[in-house]
């Protein structure tokens, strides 16, 4: 029996009583496995606690003696929970997380066994990291990489089976100081944003000393039966199906979105949620998504660097917990053709240390002007740096999603809703060169009066925009489901930081010329609205009209990763990232190189998997079917029946033969195209060759013929689980 049928049989026997944990009150388990400041208070001396607390708030570095006290406290806490090992936990550019476990156990020189975790081991480690991508940085500088403790993200305990490991969040850098991970640049971008935003806040409120970007991600994913997934080598190796005919029923009824969560999946959800709560991940919502077998979860938003850690951690936890339920989580952007893909909406805003959300409309005319300032600066940032924002979400898997079913296009535009669009138009029209104090007072009051309408506007949702204002935050929707949101958040915070800095320079220049502060601010806001309004779009982002309109407006529409990544190497990008201190030129070039390499490898793997499946699964099944048909035809002939009796069989036989022939020829041609691409030295040219000469030239065509065969060949001999099974059996 093929794996496909044994999988289907095992699902039929599945009782659905997978170990769903009892549900304790969330508050009793929340943060159970996190070294929060509250826990730290119990385990640390006053001195160590204070030092840790200030360093979390972005204050002074922790010195060695205090580090020893903290590491001892951490070990005591961890051991009280049965932990034997620790690891520096980091997010290398592979896109997954990395850890290398060391035990607390050690031997003294006289052979006495002790448990130990000293400050040095807490602060810095040197993983043998030569196999992590570095884009040539380490080769160039012959430097090793090391991980350095990031006290701003709390340590936590990961439980795998009965094993427990203390994880120390770290950043990963080369010995010459270049960052090799997603976290180090993010922390720099956060700092840059805070500085620029505080300066602008101080026009309105002198008490603001820190601004923190906030992130609430919405994670979409598919869940399918593990046995079925195991019978699909493409899912196992690429995370997506490279073949598969559309089932009779897909998502056209949209009944999944409104339906109740299937029991097995529900048990899985409750299980991973509990793991998440223990790790301090504040999950809030869970629901079905539009496509069959697709779901979503979202937490309460947090400071961006914690939110990024939590998302990365959760993706890991989900994948592990799924195994306990004999399920597989697919985080890929497009696991199934023809139905929706998965995204990771990044809800983003900025919060002051005085407790104000800078993207929430204010309560007074003055705070509304502050809101308008940050709102318009964000739009201007997206307008000026749309190409870099696009590059931040570029990846081989996201190329399958952007512009496909119900996914935002590759064109970056901003949706603000009709009332805010009106406010912007109003400011644009009324703030002219003769704009005086009286005009300003009236306009400010008018703006203030339109706030109730803005609040109503919260419900005015445009689901087709890649970057939408949703009442008190922007929602970057083009981010891929499997991405580390550190990349998009690094770029977003950097471009807004840069724009706010320019804003301050522009406002100060006008004040110097004699403008009153608020009039100067109004003037610059007006100028920014004029300069960036072509990025605003309120219509249907999925429509063809928008593609034409965007082209007319001169907005870039970069559909493939190798080209979209070019934006990282422009003079504009170099200047942006260098002046904000986020990436040096070397680091930027390295990122570009790494992303290209990842792209090439992913397309290469998919092409190989396609070839393997075609030659080892598809064609053999089709040949078996041909033989069945032949036997039948010959038998009928031998029985002396007229040709009409077997003409249909002949027709099918002919079709099957044609498909086999095309598949066989194309797979071989694709191998040749790969060979040519592999010989290209330059990564960009090579990636473009993989995109155009391998992927675009062959993937769809081979798939077309395979999917046709799937619909012709006897179901009994088809070895790969079908869409209807993967999407609907559980
Ligand atoms: P939806 O977009 O599905 O309607 P919500 O608007 O309720 O859902 O929220 C989506 C996400 O946005 C949640 O994670 C929520 O915590 C987050 N969010 C809400 N306010 C902010 C904010 N000020 N900054 C960042 N994220 C936020
Ligand atoms: Mg949302």
578-587 pLDDT tens trace? 999 999 999 9
Residue among 288, 295, 301 whose CB has most ligand 1 atoms within 8 A, to mutate:
301
Same domain, 555 and 463: yes
Q: Quote the number of domains for the chain.
A: 3
The CA 347 to ligand 2 mean position distance, Å, reads 7
pLDDT, one tens digit per residue, over 337-363 is: 999 999 999 999 999 999 999 999 887
Residues 256 and 130 in one domain: no
Minimum mean pLDDT range among 362-366, 373-377, 673-677: 362-366
Among 583, 614, 644, the domain-final residue is 583
* pLDDT score, position 216: 98
Say what the pLDDT of residue 217 is. Answer: 98
612 in the same domain as 570:
no
* Residues 441 and 465 both lie in one domain: yes
Q: Closest residue (by CA) to atom 4 of ligand 1? A: 470
Residues 218 and 146 in one domain: no
Three-state secondary-structure class, residue 86: strand
584 CB near ligand 1 (under 6 Å): no
Nearest to 398 by CA among 471, 326, 478: 478
Q: Kindly state if the Cβ of 215 falls inside 6 Å of ligand 1.
A: yes
Distance 461 CA to ligand 2 centre (A): 9
Answer yes or no: is 101 within a domain.
Answer: yes
Q: Is residue 196 located within the same domain as residue 175? A: no
Expressed as residue numbers, the domain containing 112 is 19-181
Least distant ligand from the CA of 298: 1
- The answer to whether residue 592 sits within a structural domain is no
Q: Which residues, at least 6 apart from 510, have a Cβ–Cβ distance to it below 8 Å?
A: 519, 520, 523, 524
Atom of ligand 1 nearest to the CA of 470: 6
Check: CB of residue 268 under 8 Å from CB of residue 321: yes
Residues 519 and 488 in one domain: yes
pLDDT digits (tens, 9 = 90+) for 486-527: 999 999 999 999 999 999 999 999 999 999 999 999 999 999
Q: How confident is the model at residue 15 (pLDDT cuts 50, 70, 90)?
A: low
Coil, helix or strand for 536?
Answer: strand
Mean pLDDT, range 599-614, rounded to an integer? 98
The Cα diameter of the chain in Å comes to: 105
Atom of ligand 1 nearest to the CA of 299: 14
Kindly tell me if the per-residue pLDDT of 537 is higher than 90: yes
262-272 residue pLDDT tens = 888 999 999 99
If pLDDT is split at 50, 70 and 90, which confidence band does 132 have? confident
Q: Is 473 a pocket residue for ligand 1 (Cβ < 6 Å)?
A: yes
Least confidently predicted of 27-36, 404-413, 596-605, 673-682: 404-413
- Length of the chain measured in residues: 730
pLDDT greater than 50 at residue 247: yes
What pLDDT is recorded for position 256?
72
Q: Cα angle vertex 256, ends 254, 260, to 5°?
A: 140
- Whether 698 maps to a domain, the answer reads yes
Rg of the chain taking only CA atoms, in angstroms: 28
Q: Is 452 exposed, middle or buried (0-12, 13-18, 19+ CB in 10 A)?
A: exposed
For ligand 2, the distance from its centroid to the CA atom of residue 397, given in whole angstroms, is 21
The whole-chain average pLDDT of the chain stands at 91
Given a cut of 70, whether residue 453 has pLDDT beyond it is no
pLDDT value, residue 273: 96
Domain boundary, last residue among 116, 148, 181: 181
CA of 347 to the centre of ligand 1 (A): 6
In a domain, 340, yes or no: yes
Both 313 and 437 in one domain: the answer is yes
Of all ligands present, the nearest one to the C-alpha of 310 is 1
Is the pLDDT confidence value at 142 over 50? no
Contact 13, 7 (CB under 8 A): no
pLDDT grade, residue 243 (50/70/90)? Answer: very high
Ligand 1 mean position, distance from CA 258 (Å):
21
Q: Where does a domain end: 181, 209, 224?
A: 181
Cα-Cα-Cα-Cα torsion 247, 248, 251, 252, nearest 10 degrees, comes to 150
Is residue 588 domain-resident? Answer: no
User: Among 288, 300, 347, which is best to mutate for testing ligand 1, by the most ligand atoms less than 8 A from CB?
Assistant: 347
CATH (domain of 690): 1.20.120.1560
Residues 64, 166, single domain; the answer is: yes
Listing DSSP states for 662-728 in one string gives HHHHHHHHHHHHHHHHHT--SHHHHHHHIIIIIIIIIIHHHHHHHHHHHHHS-GGG--SPPHHHHHH
- CA-nearest residue for atom 6, ligand 1, is 470
Q: What is the pLDDT of residue 59?
A: 62
Q: Is residue 14 in a domain?
A: no
- Asked if 571 and 649 sit in the same domain, the reply is no
Distance 321 CA to ligand 1 centre (A): 25
Q: Does ligand 1 come within 6 angstroms of the Cβ of 301?
A: yes
- Asked if residue 50 is part of any domain, the answer here is yes
Whether residue 472 has its Cβ less than 6 Å from ligand 1? yes
- Higher pLDDT pick, 13 / 615: 615
Q: Which atom of ligand 1 is nearest to the CA of 300?
A: 16
For 85, list phi and psi in degrees, rounded to 5: -125, 160
Nearest-atom number in ligand 1 for the CA of 215 is 25
Average pLDDT of the residues in 58-80: 88
pLDDT digits (tens, 9 = 90+) for 198-221: 999 999 999 999 999 999 999 999
Nearest CA to ligand 1 atom 26: 216
The ligand minimizing its distance to the Cα of 465 is 2
- Ligand 1 centroid–CA 314 distance in Å is 17
Question: Tens of pLDDT along 152-166?
Answer: 999 999 998 788 999
What does residue 163 show for φ and ψ, rounded to 5 degrees? -85, 140
Span from the CA of 281 to the centroid of ligand 1 (angstroms): 15
Domain shared by 531 and 623, yes or no: no
Q: In CATH, what number is assigned to the domain containing residue 374?
A: 3.30.590.10
Asked whether 214 lines ligand 1 (CB < 6 A), one says yes
Mutate to test the pocket of ligand 1, among 298, 349, 374, 417 (most ligand atoms within 8 A of CB): 298
Is the Cβ atom of 474 under 6 angstroms away from ligand 1? no
Q: Is 505 exposed, middle or buried (0-12, 13-18, 19+ CB in 10 A)?
A: exposed
Contact 219 CB / ligand 1 (< 6 Å): no
Q: Is residue 287 lining ligand 1, measured as CB closer than 6 Å?
A: no
- State whether the beta carbon of 218 lies less than 6 angstroms from ligand 1: yes
* Centre of ligand 1 from the C-alpha of residue 400, in Å: 26
The residue nearest atom 11 of ligand 1, judged by CA position, is 216
d(CA 114, CA 110) in angstroms, rounded, equals 11
- 8 is a domain residue: no
Distance in Å, CA 171 to ligand 2 centroid? 29
Ligand nearest to C-alpha 352: 1
- Protein residue closest via CA to atom 13 of ligand 1: 216
Contacts 24+ apart (CB under 8 A), 627-631: 628/714, 629/653, 629/656
Regarding whether 333 and 313 lie in a shared domain, the answer is yes
The ligand 1 atom at the shortest distance from the C-alpha of residue 471 is 6
128 has a pLDDT exceeding 70: no
| pTM for the whole structure | 0.95
Say yes or no: CB of residue 462 within 6 Å of ligand 1: no
Distance 345 CA to ligand 2 centre (A): 6
Interval 130-145 mean pLDDT: 64
Q: What is the mean pLDDT of residues 245-257?
A: 79
- The closest-lying atom of ligand 1 relative to the alpha carbon of residue 217 is 14
For residue 295, the 8-state DSSP code is E
Query: Residue 460: what pLDDT?
Result: 55
pLDDT at 459 over 60: no
Q: List the CATH number of the domain containing 82.
A: 3.10.20.70
């Amino acid at each position: 029996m093929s794996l496909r049928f044994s999988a289907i049989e095992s699902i039929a026997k599945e009782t659905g009583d997978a170990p769903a944990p009892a549900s304790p009150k969330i508050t009793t388990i929340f943060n159970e496995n996190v070294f929060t400041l509250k826990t730290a208070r119990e385990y640390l001396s006053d001195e160590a606690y204070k030092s840790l607390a200030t360093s979390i708030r972005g204050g002074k570095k922790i010195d060695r003696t205090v580090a020893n006290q903290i590491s001892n406290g951490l070990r005591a806490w961890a051991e009280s929970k049965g932990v034997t090992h620790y690891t520096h936990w980091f997010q290398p550019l592979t896109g997954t997380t990395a850890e290398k476990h060391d035990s607390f156990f050690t031997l003294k020189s006289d052979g006495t066994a002790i448990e130990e975790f000293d400050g040095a081991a807490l602060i810095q480690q040197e993983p043998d990291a030569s196999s992590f991508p570095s884009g040539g940085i380490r080769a160039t500088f012959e430097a090793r990489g090391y991980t350095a403790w990031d006290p701003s993200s709390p340590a936590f305990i990961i439980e795998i089976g009965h094993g427990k490991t203390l994880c120390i969040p770290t950043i990963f850098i080369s010995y010459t100081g270049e960052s090799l991970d997603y976290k180090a640049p993010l922390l720099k971008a956060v700092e840059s944003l805070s500085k620029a935003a505080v300066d602008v806040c101080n026009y309105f409120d002198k008490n603001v000393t820190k601004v923190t970007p906030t992130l609430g991600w919405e994670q979409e994913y598919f869940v399918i039966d593990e046995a079925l997934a195991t019978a699909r080598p493409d899912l196992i190796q690429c995370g997506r199906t490279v073949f598969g005919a559309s089932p009779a029923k897909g998502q056209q009824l949209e009944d999944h979105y409104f339906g109740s969560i299937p029991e097995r999946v529900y048990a899985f959800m409750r299980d991973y949620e509990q793991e998440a709560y223990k790790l301090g991940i504040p999950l809030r919502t869970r629901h079905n998504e539009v496509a069959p077998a697709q779901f979503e979860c979202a937490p309460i938003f947090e400071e961006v660097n914690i939110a990024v850690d939590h998302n990365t951690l959760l993706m890991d936890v989900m994948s592990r917990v799924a195994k306990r339920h004999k399920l597989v989580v697919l985080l890929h952007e497009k696991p199934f053709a023809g139905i929706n893909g998965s995204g990771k909406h990044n809800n983003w805003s900025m919060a002051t240390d005085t407790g104000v959300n800078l993207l929430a409309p204010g309560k007074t005319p003055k705070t509304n002007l502050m809101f308008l300032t940050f709102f318009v600066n964000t739009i201007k940032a997206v307008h000026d740096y749309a190409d870099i924002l696009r590059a931040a979400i570029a990846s081989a898997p996201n190329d399958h999603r952007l512009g496909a079913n119900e996914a935002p296009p590759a064109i970056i535009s901003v949706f603000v809703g009709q009332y805010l669009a009106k406010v912007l138009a109003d400011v644009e029209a009324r703030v002219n060169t003769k704009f005086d104090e009286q005009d300003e007072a009236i306009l400010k009051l008018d703006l203030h009066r339109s706030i109730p309408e803005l609040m109503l506007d919260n419900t005015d949702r445009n689901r087709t925009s890649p970057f939408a204002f949703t009442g008190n935050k922007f929602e970057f929707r083009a981010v891929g489901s499997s991405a580390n949101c550190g990349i998009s958040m690094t770029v977003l915070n950097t471009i807004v930081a840069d724009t706010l800095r320019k804003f301050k320079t522009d406002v100060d220049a006008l004040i110097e010329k004699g403008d009153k502060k608020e009039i100067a601010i109004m003037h610059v806001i007006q100028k920014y609205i004029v300069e960036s309004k072509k990025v605003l779009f309120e219509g249907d982002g999925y429509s063809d009209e928008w593609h034409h309109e965007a082209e007319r407006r001169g907005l870039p529409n970069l559909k493939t990763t190798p080209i979209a990544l070019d934006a990282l190497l422009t003079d504009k990008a170099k200047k942006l990232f260098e002046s904000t201190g986020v990436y040096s030129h070397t680091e930027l070039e390295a990122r570009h190189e790494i992303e290209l390499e990842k792209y090439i490898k992913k397309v290469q793997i998919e092409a190989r998997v396609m070839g393997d499946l075609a030659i080892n699964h598809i064609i053999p099944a089709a040949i078996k079917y041909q033989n069945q048909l032949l036997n039948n035809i010959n038998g009928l002939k031998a029985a002396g029946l007229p040709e009409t009796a077997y003409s249909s069989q002949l027709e099918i036989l002919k079709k099957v033969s044609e498909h086999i022939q095309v598949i066989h020829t194309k797979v071989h041609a694709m191998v040749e195209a790969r060979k040519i691409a592999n010989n290209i030295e330059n990564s960009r040219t090579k990636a473009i060759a993989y995109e155009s000469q391998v992927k675009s030239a062959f993937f769809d065509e081979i798939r077309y013929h395979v999917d046709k065969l799937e619909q012709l060949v006897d179901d009994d001999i088809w070895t790969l689980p079908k869409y209807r099974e993967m999407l609907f059996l559980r």
